[in-house]
Copies of this chain bind each other. A is one copy, B any other.
Amino acid sequence: MTTNDETTALDKLNRALDSGAFQQVRFTLNNSLRPAEVAHLLEQSPPKEREILWNLIHTDNEGKVLQYLADDIQADILSKMDTDRVLAITESLDTDDVADVLQQLPERVTRELLKIMDQQNRERLEVVLAYPEDTAGGLMNTDTVTIRPDITVETVLRYIRRHNEIPEMTDSLFVVSRRKESYIGILPLTKLLVSDPNITVREIMNTDIKPIPAEMPDDEVASLFAKHDLVSAPVVNKKGKLLGRITIDDVVDVIREDADHSMMSMAGLDDDEDTFAPLMKTTRRRAVWLGINLITALTASAVIGIFQNTIDKVVALAVLMPIVASMGGIAGSQTLTLMIRGQALGHVERSNAGWLLNRELLVGGLNGVLWALVVSAVSIYWFEDTTIGLVIGLAIIINLIAGALAGTVLPLALKSWGIDPALAGSVLLTTITDVVGFFAFLGLATYFYG
Contact = CB atoms under 8 A, between A and B. Distances in A.
A289 B330 contact: yes
Interface residues of A, number: 127
Interface stretch (A19-27, A53-61, A178-186, A251-259): A251-259
A296 B231 CA distance: 48
A155 to B, nearest CB: 13
A194 interface: yes
A194 B276 contact: no
A375 B290 CA distance: 12
Contacts of A3: 220, 223-224
B1 A219 contact: yes
Contact of A275 (B163, B347, B378): B347
Contacts of A263: 259, 262-263, 266, 337, 341
A254 B154 CA distance: 40
Taking the full assembly, how many copies of this chain does it contain? Answer: 2
Contact of A363 (B226, B283, B320, B374): B283
Nearest to A344: B1
A103 to B, nearest CB: 21
Interface string A29-47: 0000010110010011110
12 contacts: A36-B229, A37-B227, A168-B190, A169-B171, A231-B231, A252-B255, A263-B263, A267-B338, A275-B338, A297-B327, A311-B311, A312-B312
Per CB-CB distance, the 8 closest pairs between chain A and chain B, nearest first, are A259-B259, A2-B346, A318-B318, A267-B337, A263-B263, A166-B190, A46-B355, A1-B346
Given A225-B252, A304-B322, 6 more contacts: A1-B222, A2-B349, A10-B349, A297-B326, A311-B318, A312-B312
